[in-house]
Structure 1
Amino acid sequence: MKKCISFLSILLLVLASCKVEPEPIAYGSDVCHYCSMTIVDRQHAAQYVTEKGRAYKFDAIECMLNDLKNTGYDEIGLLLVNDFSHPGELIDATQATYLISANISSPMGENLSAFSSEKAAAMVQSEQSGELFTWLELKERFKDQ
């Protein structure tokens, strides 16, 4: 009976330690997993969390996309990007609308920003110009870069 209780205790501990949730980004001290730059920009940072609960942080959405080309999507539990309109707020990358505008610089020079809604992205696009993308369109665009 003691062995069974010990096994269940260990199993519960392992399962509890593998939460799939984002980690807060420590701007100014966390380093981009892909390019090793310090993450300072609250409008363009990104993060993915594996199904095992390991978080990987990025200074730009394009760094996350480039890392995912090498890593793949098989074991990803969460894909998150900062909302350009609400700096520091992480949103679901697969539901975001993206704007590539030469008038909005991002840390790695792809001029890529994410928005929580198509309406918010279109408003900024009307002021800054550029092209809108869905997550799937963005993945396709970066696939061969």
Structure 2
Amino acid sequence: MWFKNLKLVCIFFTVGLINCGEVHPERLTVGEMKCSHCSMNIVDMRFHTQLITYKGKRYHFDAIECLEQFQKDKDLKTQKIWVTNYLDTNEFLSKDEAIIIHSDKIRSPMGAGLAAFKTHEDSIPFQK
């Protein structure tokens, strides 16, 4: 009897520890998901942004400006926010570490001209 209880306790702790690991951004296929704020299909992956709450709920956005408006509208406890590197759509950056600029040279899906870059040097050609 005690062996069954021990087995259940071990399984419980193993599942708990696996779920406590570091969270990572999800890769999407173009057009697979709709923006959590404006409901447009996410088709330009240079602007794809993700937010995950402490409860594990994940939200996807088609532009940085949709993410920002969504955060203003909702009172969520955010665990992590990722933005896509404008120059490399396979690379996600933490929003806290990314260089986010506003530029007339950038045509974001919602028209605000916001884009994320890994370094300040990468963003220079897009600045006025």
- TM-score for both structures, normalised by structure 2: 0.84
- For residues 117 and 22 of structure 1, the distance between their equivalents in structure 2, rounded to whole angstroms, comes to 20
C-alpha contact 1:18 1:53 (8 A) present in aligned 2 = no
Find 1:97's aligned residue among 99, 102, 105.
99
- For residues 84 and 26 of structure 2, the distance between their equivalents in structure 1, rounded to whole angstroms, comes to 13
Question: 2:57 matched to 1:34?
Answer: no
Render the CA deviation track for 1:67-121: whole Å, top value 9, x for unaligned: 12233453x2221001111124211111111111122110011111111111111
User: What's the % identity of the aligned pairs?
Assistant: 31
- For residues 16 and 57 of structure 2, the distance between their equivalents in structure 1, rounded to whole angstroms, comes to 13
Q: How does 1:58-97 map to 2 (within 5 A)?
A: 58-72=61-75, 74=77, 76-97=78-99
Regions of 4+ moved over 4 Å:
none
For the pair shown, the structure with the greater C-alpha radius of gyration is: 2
**Match in the other structure for 1:137:** none
Structure 2 stretches of 5 or more lacking a match?
Answer: none
- For residues 54 and 96 of structure 1, the distance between their equivalents in structure 2, rounded to whole angstroms, comes to 22
Letter in 2 for 1:33: S
Find 2:109's aligned residue among 107, 110, 116.
107
- For residues 74 and 15 of structure 2, the distance between their equivalents in structure 1, rounded to whole angstroms, comes to 27
- TM-score for both structures, normalised by structure 1: 0.75
- For residues 36 and 44 of structure 1, the distance between their equivalents in structure 2, rounded to whole angstroms, comes to 15
Q: How many residues are treated as equivalent by the alignment?
A: 125
1:49, distance to aligned residue in structure 2 (A): 1.9
SS of 1:98's equivalent in the other structure is strand
**Match in the other structure for 2:52:** 49
C-alpha contact 1:100 1:113 (8 A) present in aligned 2 = yes
Q: Sort the Cα spacing of 1:64 and 1:15 in 2 relative to 1 into closer, same or farther, 3 A.
A: farther
Find 2:28's aligned residue among 25, 29, 45.
25
- For residues 24 and 18 of structure 1, the distance between their equivalents in structure 2, rounded to whole angstroms, comes to 20
